[in-house]
Chains A and B, each alone.
Chain A
Amino acid sequence: MKVFKLIFKNALRHKLRTVLTVIGIAIAVMAFALLRTVVTAWYVGVEASAANRLITRQAVSFIFPLPYAYRDQISKIPGVDQVTFANWFQGVYIDKNQFFARMAVDAETMFDMYPEFVVDPAELEAFKRERNACIVGTGLVKQYGFKIGDVINIDGDIYPGTWAFVVRGIYKPRDKTTDPTQMLFHWQYLDERMRQEDASRSGQVGWYIIRINDPAQSAVVSEQVDALFKNSRAETKTETERAFQQGFLAAAGTIIGSMNFMSFVIIGIIMLVVGNTMIMSARERTSEYAVFKTLGFSAGHMVGLILGESMFISVLGGGLGLALAVPFVAGFEAVVPKGWFPVFMIEPITIVLAGSSAILVGILAALFPIQRTLRTSIVDGLRHIG
């Protein structure tokens, strides 16, 4: 309709001002999308955790191991469906900047417990049969070009020595929240070498993962596990995988919290930018709006005109910002060291938040000019010089 044309013409009246405002919004939306993406990337592990899995670790610290013997004892607790375990191996691949998760796992049970790591059955069988085999994620395949039969050489640090693993399988992440950059190999292989090289470190497990029959029983089962090893040499702390992940993130929580906060400060800044533009426009057009009213245009028409212009500018800026956020976030991902954020993408919720913020900004920025325009009488508006 005609009104849209007028809104459009009004918005482009001061082209430079409108362009600068739109760019301002676009930059802010881009920054918002990036911050939100970093925040969600941090929490992705928590989101991905299954409700029916518990993690048992050494009560004092995650870095102390637990005896392998606990495995059987835990298995016997009522409500426990299956138990598996893993050790953090780390080591250096090529150089210290090549950071991805390398873990020793129980080959028999690990992939059964983590269905989000999807492995071809034939490859899984090949992996299980070979002592020094490993399975890598598609993310690592993409990054390093690993293929079946390749040998990965790693310099041990936590577990000293040189280590060689043969790639026997490649897992695909079930969905976007699954980390595709892990390398998993036989715990038995690690343990065997430890028995030969440093017997005091054999028979040790980093943490246990327990699958329970009923997620509602997680607290009860956790208590039973920890009670079992109370007053032993290695007391345990058992919690849901989710709680475990959250605890893991707690250290970074303050930074992430402030990034979260900043992302909303940015929304506030956009609001000021658009609000300022709208207030300036409305002030300059005081006498014009009075003319509209003289001609018989109603309060509703004036609201439509001002709100429409405000929305036009903020939605244009928001759309542009979101469109630019995609390459911007991809660029950011390319420059941060690999492995910091195994899963890094703009979440739909970020798009929804940015989009609705743009709309909200459009509405709020129009409120003051609308109120001013409606409150100014025609006579005062016509007398206004500006």
Chain B
Amino acid sequence: MDPIIRVHSVSKSYWRDSFEIPVLNNISFDVPGGEFLALMGPSGSGKTTLLNLIAGIDRPDKGSLHVAGTDIATLNESRLAKWRSTHIGFIFQFYNLIPVLTAYENVELPLLLTSLSKQERRRHVETALTVVGLQDRMRHYPKQLSGGQEQRVAIARAITTDPTLLVADEPTGDLDKRSADEILTLLDRLNKEFKKTIVMVTHDPRAAEKAHVVRHLDKGEFSQN
């Protein structure tokens, strides 16, 4: 079976004023479908940058990125946006829910870009919120929820379109231990039960334990161990 992610010789730098800040240096690796991959490494090692490239919200300077069967480095902005909406479910460290929308409406947001009817959307939203165990919090606004609950709503938002790939950037980084455990258990379930491919950036060794594969990034390169 073809890998879901094929990263080949990817390099990326940022520019601050006229200084080049090299972030990723000639990275190559594959992720087969169904894998739960953890990316670890010190702060500033380029984990978020690599995740953003895979998720199609940033572009490499060099190299190719095949994700979910598409060479995403060659897509234009609007095609890339469309591609993201069908293939990627993004989970952020700080949840990034829209504060003026209820849990239900936040989860429904990505579905507004599909051709689903209102009833179909309702079914999807209710299913996603049931998976994360928040079916009784649908009418709540983000500020009426705990951090762990907010992150579960964010996960529901990420899975509601049934994307090919889930990417999570330090999903437990802002949570207490108990909430963090709940989130990790949930991601584990999504991987095992729903066969979701997951790429997760984390600092937390306990989070990495849930993953099948752990890759360590250091100064923009994979290190052995």
Question: What is A's interface to B at a CB cutoff of 8 Å?
Answer: 2-3, 6, 9-10, 13, 287-288, 291-299, 377-379, 382
Q: Is A296's CB under 8 angstroms from B84's CB? A: yes
Q: Is B100's CB under 8 angstroms from A13's CB? A: yes
Known: A10-B100, A379-B52. A295 touches B84 (CB 8 A): yes
Known: A287-B96, A378-B58, A379-B52. A297 touches B101 (CB 8 A): no
Task: Tell me, rounded to whole Å, the shortest Cβ–Cβ distance linking B15 to chain A.
Answer: 12
Instruction: State A287–B57 Cα separation when bound (angstroms).
Output: 13
Total A-B residue pairs with C-beta atoms closer than 8 Å?
55
Which one, B52, B78, B113, contacts A295 given CB within 8 A? B113
List 3 tightest A-B contacts by C-beta distance, closest first. Answer: A296-B85, A9-B100, A378-B57
| B68 CB–A CB distance under 8 Å | no
Known: A6-B101, A9-B101, A378-B58. A296 touches B96 (CB 8 A): no
Nearest A residue to B81 via CB reads A296
Q: Is A295's CB under 8 angstroms from B58's CB? A: no
Task: Tell me, rounded to whole Å, the shortest Cβ–Cβ distance linking B65 to chain A.
Answer: 15
| B213 CB–A CB distance under 8 Å | no
Q: How many residues of B contact A (CB 8 A)?
A: 25
Which of B99-155 touch A at CB < 8 Å? Answer: 99-101, 108-110, 112-113
Nearest A residue to B97 via CB reads A291
Q: Is B100's CB under 8 angstroms from A295's CB? A: no
- B92 contacts which chain A residues (CB < 8 A)? 291, 382
Instruction: State A382–B58 Cα separation when bound (angstroms).
Output: 11
Nearest B residue to A10 via CB reads B100
Q: DSSP class of B's interface residues: helix, strand, loop or mixed?
A: helix
Instruction: State A121–B108 Cα separation when bound (angstroms).
Output: 74
Q: Is B98's CB under 8 angstroms from A296's CB? A: no
Which of B44-90 touch A at CB < 8 Å? Answer: 52, 55, 57-58, 77-78, 81-86, 90
Q: Is A288's CB under 8 angstroms from B101's CB? A: no
Q: Is A379's CB under 8 angstroms from B101's CB? A: no
- A295 contacts which chain B residues (CB < 8 A)? 84-85, 90, 109-110, 113, 157
Q: DSSP class of A's interface residues: helix, strand, loop or mixed?
A: helix
Nearest A residue to B77 via CB reads A299
Bitwise, B162-199 to A at CB < 8 A (1) or not (0) is 00000000000000000000000000000000000000
Q: Is B78's CB under 8 angstroms from A377's CB? A: no
Instruction: State A293–B57 Cα separation when bound (angstroms).
Output: 9
Q: Is A299's CB under 8 angstroms from B78's CB? A: yes
Instruction: State A287–B97 Cα separation when bound (angstroms).
Output: 10
- A10 contacts which chain B residues (CB < 8 A)? 100
Q: Is B112's CB under 8 angstroms from A2's CB? A: yes
Instruction: State A379–B110 Cα separation when bound (angstroms).
Output: 19
Instruction: State A297–B98 Cα separation when bound (angstroms).
Output: 14
Nearest A residue to B94 via CB reads A287
Instruction: State A292–B52 Cα separation when bound (angstroms).
Output: 15
- A298 contacts which chain B residues (CB < 8 A)? 78, 81
Task: Tell me, rounded to whole Å, the shortest Cβ–Cβ distance linking B85 to chain A.
Answer: 3
Q: Is B82's CB under 8 angstroms from A296's CB? A: yes
Task: Tell me, rounded to whole Å, the shortest Cβ–Cβ distance linking A308 to chain B.
Answer: 14
Q: Is A294's CB under 8 angstroms from B57's CB? A: yes
- A9 contacts which chain B residues (CB < 8 A)? 100-101
Instruction: State A171–B151 Cα separation when bound (angstroms).
Output: 78
Instruction: State A382–B52 Cα separation when bound (angstroms).
Output: 11
Instruction: State A384–B96 Cα separation when bound (angstroms).
Output: 12
- B84 contacts which chain A residues (CB < 8 A)? 294-296
Task: Tell me, rounded to whole Å, the shortest Cβ–Cβ distance linking A222 to chain B.
Answer: 67
Nearest A residue to B57 via CB reads A378
Nearest A residue to B118 via CB reads A2
- A299 contacts which chain B residues (CB < 8 A)? 77-78
Task: Tell me, rounded to whole Å, the shortest Cβ–Cβ distance linking A15 to chain B.
Answer: 12
Q: Is A291's CB under 8 angstroms from B98's CB? A: yes
Q: Is A293's CB under 8 angstroms from B81's CB? A: yes
Known: A295-B85, A299-B78; 14 extra A-B contacts, CB below 8 A, are A2-B108, A3-B112, A6-B100, A287-B96, A291-B92, A294-B55, A295-B109, A295-B113, A296-B81, A296-B82, A296-B84, A299-B77, A377-B58, A382-B92
